[in-house]
Amino acid sequence: MTKSPESAENRCQPEKQPVSRLRRAYIARLVGRCLILALLTLVWLLRPEELDLIYPGAFFRGFSPLHLLWLVWMIDMLFQLIPAKEHIPLGSQKHLLHRFRPIREKINTQALRDYVISTTKAAYKVLLLWAALLAVLGLLYNRQILDERALFMISALFYVCDLICVLIWCPFRLILKNRCCTTCRIFNWDHLMMFTPMMFIDSFFARSLLLMAIVVWLVWELCVMMYPERFWEQSNEALKCSSCTDKLCTQYCRKLRG
C-alpha cells in the first residue's frame, strides 16, 4: 500500500528542535530581568528613597546599586552599535556590514524599495502608538498621579517585556507582520521604548540613557535608508530561515526553513 503524501498542514507543524545556545542565554537573561524587577519593586514599596539616584543631581553624589543597572543598560546599547557575533542576535546587528550575506542573484531593487516602504509604514504606526502611550504617561505625571519613581519602574517593567516579546509573544507582530525577530524592522527600537517613560525626568541618569537610546535608534534608521538590502531576506541570505543560527523564535516550520 502506497503512503499518502504528507499534507501541507503537517509539513508546517512545529518540529522539535534543540534549544540553541543563544535562546538558552536569553532565557537566563529573562529570568535575571524578572529578578531585577522583583527586587526593584520591593525597594520601591519598602524603601523608595533607595531609588533617589534617578533624581536631578543625585548621580554623582555617591555609589548606589542603580549605578550598576545604569552600566548594564549602557553596555547593552553599546553592543547594538559595535560589530559582535557572540551572544548578540542577528536581528539586532543585521544593519552592520559584518552580518550581511548578499544573495548571488541580482537584487530586485523595486521589490526591495516596496518592502522598505511597507515595513517602514508599519514601524511608524508602532511609533505613533508608543507616542500616544507616552502622552498618557506625561499627562499622569503632570497631574502628579505618577512620580519619577513610578516612571522609572515603568521602564524597569518594559526591560522585562522586551525579552518576553523576543522569547514568548510579541504584540508588535500584529502590526509589523514580520516572521520573527531576525527580520523585525524595529528590533533595535527596544531601548528607546524602554527609556522614553523617563523622558520627563530631568536627571543625568534618565537623560544619559535616553540619549544613548536615541543614538542607537538613529544609527538603525540611517542604516535602513542607506543599506536597505541588509534588512530584507530576499537580498540578505543571513536572514533566511534556512540560514538561521540564533533560533530565538519558538516556532520552527519545515516549509519556511526549507
In a domain, 152, yes or no: yes
Q: Taking the chain, what is the end-to-end CA distance rounded to the nearest angstrom?
A: 28
Specify the DSSP class assigned to residue 20: P
Least confident range from 92-96, 169-173, 186-190, 251-255: namely 251-255
H or E stretch at 39: helix 21-46
The CA–CA distances, whole Å, from 76 to 107, 191, 202 equal 33, 9, 22
Percent of the residues in the chain that have a pLDDT greater than 90, as a whole number: 79
For residue 100, being part of any structural domain is answered with no
Domain holding 206, by residue range, is 20-94+107-240
Residue 161 lies in a domain: yes
Number of domains in the chain: 1
List own/partner pairs for 42-46 with CB under 8 A and 24 or more apart: 44/149, 44/153
Asked whether residue 64 is assigned to any structural domain, the reply reads yes
Burial 95-134 (b: 16+ CB within 10 A, else e): bbeebbeeeeeeeeeeebeebbeebbebbeebeeebeeee
Q: What is the mean pLDDT of the chain?
A: 90
Q: Is residue 257 part of a domain?
A: no
In a domain, 27, yes or no: yes
Q: What is the pLDDT of residue 255?
A: 40
**pTM assigned to the model:** 0.89
CA pair distance 257, 254, nearest whole angstrom: 5
What's the confidence (pLDDT) of residue 132?
98
Q: What pLDDT shows up at residue 84?
A: 80
Does some domain include residue 83? Answer: yes
- Looking at residue 2, its pLDDT comes to 45
Q: Is residue 69 part of a domain?
A: yes
Section 78-107 average pLDDT? 90
Query: What is the reported pLDDT for 1?
Result: 45
